[in-house]
Amino acid sequence: MYVIKMKTLICYFAVFVLLVSAFGMVRFFDAESAETAASASAGEYSGVDVSSADGTESNEPSANGAEGDKLSADGAASDELSTAKKERIDVPILMYHNICKSGGRTGRYIISVTEFENDLKFIAENGYTTVVMQDLIDYVYNGKKLPKKPVVLTFDDGYFNNYAYAFPLLEKYDARAVLSIIGYYTDLYTKTPDENPAYSHVTWDNVRELMKSGRVELQNHSYNLHSTDKGRNGSKKKRGESLEHYRAMLTEDLGTLQKEFKENTKYTPTTYTYPFGSVSNDSFQIVKDMGFQASLSCESGINHVSRDPECLYMMKRYLRTPSKTAKDILK
C-alpha cells in the first residue's frame, strides 16, 4: 500500500515537472520571437538588412533604405532651393499708363511729361539702373548679374503717348522700359492711323521702332481682354465657368497676340501682364503652359528676385500716380 502511494506521488511529481518545463519553453520562444521582431523593426528603420522569413539572409536593400536615399535627395534639393531663395535682390517695379503734356488731362492713371522726366532724373541721380523683364529672366534662369539697384519701368495698354512722349525721354536719360500692349487696339490703329496722344494706341510700325531702339521691351497685355464686357473682368475666370472653357478662352486670346508679335516683329513676348490685375488661380498654370516665363500683377509691393523661377510670376508693381512720385516709391 505504501509502495503504491509513493509511485502515485512520483507520477504526480513527474507530470508537474513536465508541465513546468513546457510552460518555460513557451515563454522562452515567445520572448525570443519578441526580441527578433524588435530587432527586425530596428533594422528596418536604420536601413540595415534583416533575415527573411525562411531564415536566409536577404541581400535586397530595405524599403526604408531606398526611402532614406530619397529623403537625402529631397533634402539636397531642398537645400539647393533654399540657397537659391537666399540669393536674392530687391527689385521695385513702377507702373505707368498715360503720359500727357502739362496742362492736359489729369487723373489717377495720367501724369505729365514733366513728372515723368523728374522720375527719370531721380532714378539716374540716385544710382538706380533701369532693367527690363528679360534681364530678370536671365538672372533667374541663366545666372546673369543684375545691377546693384535695379528698377523696372512698365507702361500698360500701349498708348501712343508712351511712344510720343516717354520714348524720347528714355533716350535722353539712357533708360529702358517695358511696354505691354493690347493687341486689338494695336491692330485697330495700324489699320486706321490716328496719332492722337490723348487716346490713340501704338501701331505695329511704332512697336518695331521701339524694339529696334533697344530702349523698350514689348510684352503681352492680352489681345482683347482689357475690358469688363460680357461678364468677364479682364482675363479673370467667370463665375461658374468650367476650367476647360476658361483654358481654351485664355489660350486663344493670349495666343493670338503671341502669334501677331511673331508675324510682325519675329519676337515672342516672355511676360504676361494681367489686365486690371484681375487674376484667377486657374490662370497661373495656363500662363506657364503657354511658355510665359513671367507675369505682372497690379498688387503693390517690392519683389525679391532669386534664382527660383517662381519669383518671376505675379510680380508686384507700384502704381505711379500724380501724387506718388518715383522718389516717394523708391526712397
Contact 110, 165 (CB under 8 A): no
Provide DSSP, 100-162. E-TTS--BTTEEEHHHHHHHHHHHHHTT-EE--HHHHHHHHHH-----SSEEEEEEEE-BHHI
* Residue 263 grid cell: 508675324
pLDDT for position 69: 47
Tens-digit pLDDT string for the chain (331 aa)? 444 444 454 445 554 544 444 444 434 334 333 333 333 333 322 333 333 333 333 333 333 344 444 444 455 555 555 555 568 999 999 999 999 997 677 799 999 999 999 999 999 999 999 999 999 999 999 999 999 999 999 999 999 999 999 999 999 999 999 999 999 999 999 999 999 999 999 999 999 999 999 999 999 999 999 999 878 999 999 999 999 999 999 999 999 999 999 999 999 999 999 999 999 999 999 999 999 999 999 999 999 999 999 999 999 999 999 999 999 999 8
pLDDT for position 87: 81
The pTM assigned to this predicted structure is 0.75
- Whole-angstrom CA distances from 129 to 10, 68, 147, 150, 176 are 107, 47, 7, 5, 9
pLDDT for position 105: 75
Closest CA to 159 of 194, 117, 209, 133: 194
- Helix, coil or strand: residue 271: strand
Alpha-carbon dihedral angle through residues 186, 164, 166, 312, given to the nearest 10 degrees? 10
Query: What CATH class is the domain 90-330?
Result: alpha beta
Closest CA to 139 of 215, 176, 88, 78: 88
pLDDT for position 230: 78
Burial pattern 185-199, b for ≥16 Cβ within 10 A else e, equals bbbebbeeeeeebee
